[in-house]
Protein backbone atom coordinates (compact mmCIF):
# COMPACT_ATOMS: atom_id res chain seq x y z
CA UNK A 1 0.00 0.00 0.00
CA UNK A 2 1.42 3.36 -1.00
CA UNK A 3 0.09 6.41 0.79
CA UNK A 4 0.29 9.55 -1.32
CA UNK A 5 -0.93 12.72 0.34
CA UNK A 6 -2.83 15.09 -1.90
CA UNK A 7 -4.91 18.24 -1.63
CA UNK A 8 -7.24 18.04 1.32
CA UNK A 9 -5.80 14.76 2.62
CA UNK A 10 -4.79 16.25 5.97
CA UNK A 11 -8.38 17.45 6.43
CA UNK A 12 -9.87 14.08 5.48
CA UNK A 13 -7.36 12.16 7.57
CA UNK A 14 -5.74 14.22 10.35
CA UNK A 15 -3.45 11.26 11.16
CA UNK A 16 -1.99 11.00 7.66
CA UNK A 17 1.21 12.91 8.36
CA UNK A 18 1.93 10.73 11.40
CA UNK A 19 1.24 7.55 9.47
CA UNK A 20 3.54 8.55 6.62
CA UNK A 21 6.32 9.63 9.00
CA UNK A 22 6.13 6.29 10.86
CA UNK A 23 6.72 4.15 7.78
CA UNK A 24 10.51 4.10 7.91
CA UNK A 25 10.62 3.26 11.62
CA UNK A 26 8.08 0.47 11.16
CA UNK A 27 10.13 -0.91 8.27
CA UNK A 28 13.29 -0.75 10.40
CA UNK A 29 11.57 -2.59 13.22
CA UNK A 30 9.98 -5.28 11.06
CA UNK A 31 13.22 -5.95 9.17
CA UNK A 32 15.13 -6.55 12.40
CA UNK A 33 12.36 -8.79 13.71
CA UNK A 34 12.03 -10.87 10.53
CA UNK A 35 15.39 -10.64 8.77
CA UNK A 36 13.60 -10.07 5.48
CA UNK A 37 13.02 -6.74 3.78
CA UNK A 38 10.23 -8.09 1.57
CA UNK A 39 8.38 -9.52 4.56
CA UNK A 40 8.96 -6.29 6.48
CA UNK A 41 7.35 -4.31 3.66
CA UNK A 42 4.38 -6.70 3.72
CA UNK A 43 4.03 -6.17 7.47
CA UNK A 44 3.97 -2.39 7.07
CA UNK A 45 1.35 -2.64 4.33
CA UNK A 46 -0.80 -4.94 6.49
CA UNK A 47 -0.43 -2.57 9.44
CA UNK A 48 -1.68 0.35 7.35
CA UNK A 49 -4.50 -1.79 5.94
CA UNK A 50 -5.69 -2.54 9.49
CA UNK A 51 -5.59 1.15 10.36
CA UNK A 52 -7.73 2.11 7.39
CA UNK A 53 -10.10 -0.78 8.05
CA UNK A 54 -11.15 0.99 11.25
CA UNK A 55 -13.96 3.50 11.30
CA UNK A 56 -13.17 7.18 11.81
CA UNK A 57 -14.47 7.11 15.43
CA UNK A 58 -12.22 4.11 16.14
CA UNK A 59 -9.24 5.96 14.70
CA UNK A 60 -10.03 9.07 16.70
CA UNK A 61 -10.14 7.00 19.88
CA UNK A 62 -6.48 6.01 19.43
CA UNK A 63 -4.40 8.12 21.82
CA UNK A 64 -1.08 7.59 20.02
CA UNK A 65 -1.12 6.62 16.36
CA UNK A 66 2.60 5.79 16.41
CA UNK A 67 2.21 3.47 19.39
CA UNK A 68 -0.81 1.80 17.79
CA UNK A 69 1.08 1.18 14.54
CA UNK A 70 4.09 -0.22 16.40
CA UNK A 71 1.92 -2.55 18.46
CA UNK A 72 0.10 -3.89 15.42
CA UNK A 73 3.26 -4.30 13.34
CA UNK A 74 5.07 -6.06 16.20
CA UNK A 75 2.19 -8.46 16.76
CA UNK A 76 2.07 -9.30 13.04
CA UNK A 77 5.82 -9.98 13.18
CA UNK A 78 5.39 -12.11 16.29
CA UNK A 79 2.80 -14.20 14.48
CA UNK A 80 5.04 -14.57 11.42
CA UNK A 81 8.00 -15.58 13.58
CA UNK A 82 5.86 -18.31 15.10
CA UNK A 83 5.55 -19.99 11.70
CA UNK A 84 9.01 -19.02 10.42
CA UNK A 85 10.77 -22.11 11.70
CA UNK A 86 8.38 -24.36 9.83
CA UNK A 87 9.07 -22.34 6.69
CA UNK A 88 12.82 -22.60 7.30
CA UNK A 89 12.52 -26.39 7.50
CA UNK A 90 11.02 -26.44 4.01
CA UNK A 91 13.61 -24.01 2.66
CA UNK A 92 16.11 -25.56 0.23
CA UNK A 93 19.61 -25.31 1.72
CA UNK A 94 20.71 -22.74 4.28
CA UNK A 95 18.56 -19.70 5.07
CA UNK A 96 20.45 -16.41 5.46
CA UNK A 97 18.81 -13.09 6.41
CA UNK A 98 18.11 -10.85 3.45
CA UNK A 99 21.04 -8.45 2.91
CA UNK A 100 20.42 -4.73 2.61
CA UNK A 101 22.65 -2.07 1.01
CA UNK A 102 23.80 1.28 2.43
CA UNK A 103 22.79 1.50 6.11
CA UNK A 104 21.45 5.07 6.25
CA UNK A 105 17.76 4.21 6.20
CA UNK A 106 18.25 1.26 8.57
CA UNK A 107 19.47 3.38 11.47
CA UNK A 108 16.25 5.15 12.32
CA UNK A 109 14.75 4.36 15.69
CA UNK A 110 12.67 5.97 18.36
CA UNK A 111 14.19 9.43 18.89
CA UNK A 112 14.49 11.14 22.22
CA UNK A 113 14.10 8.01 24.38
CA UNK A 114 17.20 7.28 26.43
CA UNK A 115 15.56 5.38 29.27
CA UNK A 116 17.14 2.27 30.72
CA UNK A 117 20.72 1.20 31.25
CA UNK A 118 22.92 2.22 28.27
CA UNK A 119 25.00 -0.92 28.91
CA UNK A 120 21.99 -2.99 27.90
CA UNK A 121 21.56 -1.16 24.61
CA UNK A 122 22.50 -2.35 21.18
CA UNK A 123 22.89 0.54 18.76
CA UNK A 124 20.71 0.56 15.69
CA UNK A 125 23.64 0.27 13.31
CA UNK A 126 24.96 -2.77 15.19
CA UNK A 127 21.54 -4.41 15.11
CA UNK A 128 21.45 -4.60 11.33
CA UNK A 129 24.75 -6.39 10.69
CA UNK A 130 24.54 -9.95 9.40
CA UNK A 131 26.22 -11.61 12.40
CA UNK A 132 23.68 -9.99 14.71
CA UNK A 133 20.71 -11.03 12.55
CA UNK A 134 21.97 -14.61 12.41
CA UNK A 135 22.07 -14.78 16.22
CA UNK A 136 18.51 -13.42 16.33
CA UNK A 137 17.44 -16.45 14.27
CA UNK A 138 18.39 -18.71 17.20
CA UNK A 139 15.98 -16.95 19.56
CA UNK A 140 12.37 -17.76 20.31
CA UNK A 141 9.85 -15.35 18.75
CA UNK A 142 9.05 -13.82 22.15
CA UNK A 143 12.75 -13.37 22.98
CA UNK A 144 13.41 -11.72 19.66
CA UNK A 145 10.51 -9.29 19.89
CA UNK A 146 11.16 -8.37 23.53
CA UNK A 147 14.86 -7.85 22.89
CA UNK A 148 14.49 -5.79 19.71
CA UNK A 149 11.73 -3.60 21.12
CA UNK A 150 13.52 -2.92 24.41
CA UNK A 151 17.27 -3.09 23.75
CA UNK A 152 17.30 -1.76 20.21
CA UNK A 153 14.23 0.49 19.90
CA UNK A 154 14.15 1.43 23.59
CA UNK A 155 10.56 0.67 24.41
CA UNK A 156 9.89 0.28 28.16
CA UNK A 157 8.99 -3.20 29.32
CA UNK A 158 5.47 -2.10 30.20
CA UNK A 159 4.82 -1.39 26.51
CA UNK A 160 6.70 -4.51 25.39
CA UNK A 161 4.52 -6.59 27.69
CA UNK A 162 1.36 -5.25 26.07
CA UNK A 163 2.70 -6.22 22.64
CA UNK A 164 4.07 -9.65 23.52
CA UNK A 165 1.24 -10.63 25.84
CA UNK A 166 3.48 -11.32 28.83
CA UNK A 167 4.10 -9.53 32.11
CA UNK A 168 6.77 -6.82 32.24
CA UNK A 169 8.86 -9.10 34.47
CA UNK A 170 8.60 -11.94 31.97
CA UNK A 171 9.60 -9.61 29.13
CA UNK A 172 12.57 -8.46 31.15
CA UNK A 173 13.66 -12.09 31.47
CA UNK A 174 13.15 -12.68 27.75
CA UNK A 175 15.32 -9.70 26.86
CA UNK A 176 17.95 -10.78 29.37
CA UNK A 177 18.07 -14.27 27.85
CA UNK A 178 18.39 -12.80 24.35
CA UNK A 179 21.12 -10.46 25.55
CA UNK A 180 23.14 -13.41 26.88
CA UNK A 181 22.89 -15.10 23.48
CA UNK A 182 24.16 -11.97 21.77
CA UNK A 183 27.07 -11.53 24.16
CA UNK A 184 28.07 -15.19 23.89
CA UNK A 185 28.16 -14.98 20.09
CA UNK A 186 29.82 -11.59 19.72
CA UNK A 187 33.55 -11.07 19.38
CA UNK A 188 35.40 -7.75 19.40
CA UNK A 189 34.96 -6.10 16.01
CA UNK A 190 37.95 -4.32 14.46
CA UNK A 191 37.56 -0.77 13.13
CA UNK A 192 35.62 -0.42 9.90
CA UNK A 193 38.74 0.67 8.00
CA UNK A 194 40.53 -2.52 9.03
CA UNK A 195 37.53 -4.64 8.05
CA UNK A 196 37.42 -2.92 4.67
CA UNK A 197 41.12 -3.58 4.09
CA UNK A 198 40.73 -7.28 4.89
CA UNK A 199 37.67 -7.60 2.63
CA UNK A 200 39.56 -5.77 -0.15
CA UNK A 201 42.52 -8.16 0.23
CA UNK A 202 40.07 -11.06 0.14
CA UNK A 203 38.54 -9.74 -3.09
CA UNK A 204 41.94 -9.38 -4.75
CA UNK A 205 43.07 -12.86 -3.67
CA UNK A 206 39.80 -14.34 -4.87
CA UNK A 207 40.05 -12.69 -8.27
CA UNK A 208 43.68 -13.84 -8.56
CA UNK A 209 42.66 -17.39 -7.55
CA UNK A 210 45.38 -17.26 -4.91
CA UNK A 211 44.47 -20.11 -2.57
CA UNK A 212 47.32 -19.45 -0.13
CA UNK A 213 46.45 -15.76 0.16
CA UNK A 214 42.82 -16.60 0.84
CA UNK A 215 43.79 -19.13 3.50
CA UNK A 216 45.92 -16.46 5.13
CA UNK A 217 42.95 -14.10 5.33
CA UNK A 218 40.56 -16.71 6.72
CA UNK A 219 40.36 -17.96 10.29
CA UNK A 220 41.40 -21.64 10.34
CA UNK A 221 37.89 -22.50 11.59
CA UNK A 222 36.08 -20.10 9.26
CA UNK A 223 32.63 -20.96 7.95
CA UNK A 224 31.05 -19.97 4.63
CA UNK A 225 27.28 -20.24 4.24
CA UNK A 226 25.50 -19.92 0.91
CA UNK A 227 21.80 -19.21 0.36
CA UNK A 228 20.44 -20.08 -3.06
CA UNK A 229 16.95 -20.93 -1.85
CA UNK A 230 16.70 -23.76 -4.37
CA UNK A 231 16.44 -21.12 -7.10
CA UNK A 232 20.14 -21.00 -8.00
CA UNK A 233 22.99 -23.38 -7.23
CA UNK A 234 24.58 -22.98 -3.80
CA UNK A 235 26.20 -25.31 -1.30
CA UNK A 236 23.39 -26.93 0.68
CA UNK A 237 25.49 -27.01 3.86
CA UNK A 238 28.01 -24.55 5.32
CA UNK A 239 31.62 -25.01 4.16
CA UNK A 240 33.99 -25.23 7.11
CA UNK A 241 37.71 -24.61 7.30
CA UNK A 242 39.94 -22.03 5.60
CA UNK A 243 41.38 -24.48 3.09
CA UNK A 244 38.04 -25.85 1.95
CA UNK A 245 36.56 -22.38 1.61
CA UNK A 246 39.55 -21.08 -0.35
CA UNK A 247 39.49 -23.99 -2.78
CA UNK A 248 35.71 -23.75 -3.21
CA UNK A 249 35.87 -20.04 -4.00
CA UNK A 250 38.82 -20.18 -6.36
CA UNK A 251 37.09 -22.95 -8.27
CA UNK A 252 34.31 -20.49 -9.04
CA UNK A 253 36.32 -17.29 -9.49
CA UNK A 254 35.54 -15.45 -12.71
CA UNK A 255 32.76 -17.87 -13.66
CA UNK A 256 30.18 -16.41 -16.01
CA UNK A 257 32.08 -13.17 -16.49
CA UNK A 258 31.37 -12.01 -12.94
CA UNK A 259 32.69 -8.70 -11.69
CA UNK A 260 33.06 -8.15 -7.96
CA UNK A 261 32.96 -4.77 -6.28
CA UNK A 262 33.30 -3.57 -2.72
CA UNK A 263 30.21 -2.19 -1.01
CA UNK A 264 28.46 -1.84 2.31
CA UNK A 265 26.38 -4.87 3.28
CA UNK A 266 24.20 -4.49 6.36
CA UNK A 267 26.38 -1.69 7.64
CA UNK A 268 29.73 -3.47 7.22
CA UNK A 269 32.26 -3.88 4.40
CA UNK A 270 31.14 -6.54 1.95
CA UNK A 271 31.16 -7.57 -1.68
CA UNK A 272 28.67 -7.67 -4.52
CA UNK A 273 29.08 -9.90 -7.60
CA UNK A 274 27.43 -8.82 -10.83
CA UNK A 275 26.93 -10.34 -14.26
CA UNK A 276 26.14 -7.93 -17.09
CA UNK A 277 25.26 -5.29 -14.50
CA UNK A 278 22.83 -7.55 -12.65
CA UNK A 279 23.58 -8.44 -9.02
CA UNK A 280 23.79 -12.23 -8.68
CA UNK A 281 25.27 -12.56 -5.19
CA UNK A 282 26.01 -10.48 -2.11
CA UNK A 283 28.68 -11.37 0.45
CA UNK A 284 28.66 -10.34 4.10
CA UNK A 285 31.66 -10.91 6.37
CA UNK A 286 32.31 -11.30 10.06
CA UNK A 287 35.87 -10.14 10.72
CA UNK A 288 37.41 -11.09 14.06
CA UNK A 289 40.85 -9.69 14.76
CA UNK A 290 42.70 -9.73 11.45
CA UNK A 291 40.92 -12.77 9.99
CA UNK A 292 37.57 -13.49 8.39
CA UNK A 293 35.60 -15.76 10.69
CA UNK A 294 32.34 -16.12 8.76
CA UNK A 295 31.11 -15.47 5.25
CA UNK A 296 27.47 -15.32 4.19
CA UNK A 297 26.79 -15.50 0.47
CA UNK A 298 23.24 -14.70 -0.62
CA UNK A 299 22.50 -15.89 -4.17
CA UNK A 300 18.73 -16.31 -3.97
CA UNK A 301 17.46 -13.69 -6.46
CA UNK A 302 14.31 -13.18 -4.38
CA UNK A 303 16.54 -11.72 -1.66
CA UNK A 304 18.55 -9.49 -3.98
CA UNK A 305 15.74 -7.18 -5.06
CA UNK A 306 17.09 -4.16 -3.10
CA UNK A 307 20.38 -4.52 -4.98
CA UNK A 308 18.94 -4.18 -8.49
Q: Residue 203 phi/psi, 5° resolution?
A: -60, -45
| Furthest CA-CA distance within the chain | 69
Give the pLDDT score at 114.
40
Give the pLDDT score at 78.
95
Average the pLDDT over 254-273 and give the result. Answer: 88
CA distance 271 to 281: 8
Give the pLDDT score at 124.
64
Question: Of 149, 146, 152, nearest to 118 (Cα)?
Answer: 152
pTM of the model: 0.86
Give the angle subtended at the CA of 249 by the CAs of 234 and 201, to the nearest 5°: 130
Give the pLDDT score at 206.
95
Give the angle subtended at the CA of 144 by the CAs of 138 and 147, to the nearest 5°: 125
Amino acid sequence: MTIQPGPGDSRLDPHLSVIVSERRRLLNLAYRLLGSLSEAEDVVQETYARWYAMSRPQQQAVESVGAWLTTVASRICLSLLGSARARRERYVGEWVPEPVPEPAEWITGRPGDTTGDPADRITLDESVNMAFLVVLESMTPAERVAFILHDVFRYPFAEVADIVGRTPAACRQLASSARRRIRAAQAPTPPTAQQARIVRDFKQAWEAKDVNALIGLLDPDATATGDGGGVVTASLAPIEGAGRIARFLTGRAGAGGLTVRECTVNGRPGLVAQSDGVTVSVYAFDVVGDRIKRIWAVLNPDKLRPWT
